[in-house]
Chains A and B, each alone.
Chain A
Amino acid sequence: MLRVIIAALAGVTLTAQAYAAEVPTEIKIGTLYASSGRFASISMPVYTSLKLWADLKNADGGVYVKAFDKKLPVKLVAYDDQSNTATASTLYNQLVTQDKVDLLVADSGSVLTAPAATIARDHKMFLFDQTGTGASFFSKDNPYIALMADPVSTIWPKPVADFVIHDGPALGIKKIAILYSTNEFTGTQANAFRKFIKDSGVPVEIVYDQGVPTETTNYTVIINNINNTHPDAVFTFGYAPNDIAFLRNVADVGVKFKMLFVIYAGLEKELLEKNVGDKGLEHVFTYVPASDLEYPVNFGMNLPTYKAAWDKKNSDGKLEFGLNAVAGYTTGLVIEKALSVATSLDQMELRRAVFSLSGNLKTLCGPFALDETGGQTGELTPLGQLEPDGHGHLKFVSVYPHDTATGKPVYPRP
Chain B
Amino acid sequence: MPNALKHTLFIALPVLVIFAVLPGVYQNHLLLFNFVIFLILAQGVNIIYGFTGYLPFGYVGFFGAGAYGFAVVVMHLHAPGVPAVLAAGVAGVVVGLLLTPLLRLSGAYFAIANLAASLAVLHLIANPALESITRGPYGVSLSATFNPTSAYAAGLVVLALTLGAVVYLKNSRFGLALQAVREDAVSASMAGVNVVRMRVIAWLVSALVAGLAGGVYAWYVSVFYPDNVFSGDFSIFAIVFALFGGVASITGPIVGVIILYGIYNLIGFTTPQYFQLIYGLLIMGLVLFLPAGLVSLATRRGWHVP
A136 & B269 in contact (Cβ 8 Å cutoff): no
Given known pairs A93-B28, A94-B269, A187-B137, the reply for A86 and B234 (CB within 8 Å) is: yes
A98 & B27 in contact (Cβ 8 Å cutoff): yes
B231 & A86 in contact (Cβ 8 Å cutoff): yes
Per-position 1/0 for A80-110, Cβ under 8 A of B: 1010111101111110011000000000001
Among B128, B136, B223, the residue within 8 A (CB) of A118 is B223
Per-position 1/0 for B131-152, Cβ under 8 A of A: 0000111111101001010000
B221 & A188 in contact (Cβ 8 Å cutoff): no
Per-position 1/0 for B41-59, Cβ under 8 A of A: 0000000000000000000
Give the most central of B135, B137, B228, B269: most A CB within 10 Å: B137
Smallest CB separation, B76 vs chain A (Å):
16
Please name all residues of chain A whose beta carbon is closer than 8 Å to the beta carbon of B228 when the two chains form the complex: 85, 111, 114-115
A36 & B276 in contact (Cβ 8 Å cutoff): yes
A121 within 8 A of B: yes
B265 within 8 A of A: yes
What is the interface of chain A mostly: helix, strand, loop, or mixed? helix
A137 within 8 A of B: yes
The number of residues on chain A lying at the interface, defined by a beta carbon within 8 Å of a beta carbon of chain B, is: 41
Given known pairs A134-B138, A136-B140, A183-B126, the reply for A117 and B223 (CB within 8 Å) is: yes
B28 & A184 in contact (Cβ 8 Å cutoff): no
Smallest CB separation, A107 vs chain B (Å):
13
Please name all residues of chain A whose beta carbon is closer than 8 Å to the beta carbon of B34 when the two chains form the complex: 86, 89-90
Given known pairs A90-B28, A90-B268, A93-B29, the reply for A111 and B222 (CB within 8 Å) is: no
Closest residue on chain B to residue A210 by CB atoms: B128
A22 within 8 A of B: no
A217 within 8 A of B: no
A182 within 8 A of B: yes
B221 & A115 in contact (Cβ 8 Å cutoff): yes
A187 & B128 in contact (Cβ 8 Å cutoff): yes
Smallest CB separation, A288 vs chain B (Å):
26
A13 within 8 A of B: no
Per-position 1/0 for B247-286, Cβ under 8 A of A: 0000000000000000011001100110110000000000
B143 & A141 in contact (Cβ 8 Å cutoff): yes
CA distance A191 to B146 in the complex (A): 27
B234 & A114 in contact (Cβ 8 Å cutoff): no
A79 within 8 A of B: yes
CA distance A211 to B141 in the complex (A): 22
B148 & A122 in contact (Cβ 8 Å cutoff): yes
B30 within 8 A of A: yes
CA distance A118 to B220 in the complex (A): 9
A213 within 8 A of B: yes
B276 & A82 in contact (Cβ 8 Å cutoff): yes
Among A86, A111, A119, A213, the residue within 8 A (CB) of B233 is A86
A80 & B272 in contact (Cβ 8 Å cutoff): yes
A139 within 8 A of B: yes
Given known pairs A89-B221, A139-B143, A213-B123, the reply for A182 and B128 (CB within 8 Å) is: yes
Please name all residues of chain A whose beta carbon is closer than 8 Å to the beta carbon of B128 when the two chains form the complex: 182, 187, 191, 211
B168 within 8 A of A: no
Closest residue on chain A to residue B123 by CB atoms: A213
Among A92, A119, A187, the residue within 8 A (CB) of B136 is A187
CA distance A191 to B137 in the complex (A): 11
Per-position 1/0 for A25-47, Cβ under 8 A of B: 00000000001100000000000
A114 & B224 in contact (Cβ 8 Å cutoff): yes
Please name all residues of chain B whose beta carbon is closer than 8 Å to the beta carbon of A136 when the two chains form the complex: 135, 138-141, 223
Among A94, A122, A182, A187, the residue within 8 A (CB) of B31 is A94
Please name all residues of chain A whose beta carbon is closer than 8 Å to the beta carbon of B268 when the two chains form the complex: 79-80, 87, 90-91
CA distance A118 to B224 in the complex (A): 9
Partner-A contacts on B (CB < 8 A): 27-31, 34, 37, 123, 126-129, 135-141, 143, 146, 148, 220-225, 227-228, 231, 233-234, 237, 264-265, 268-269, 272-273, 275-276
A-B complex: 3 closest residue pairs judged by Cβ atoms: A97-B27, A93-B30, A80-B272
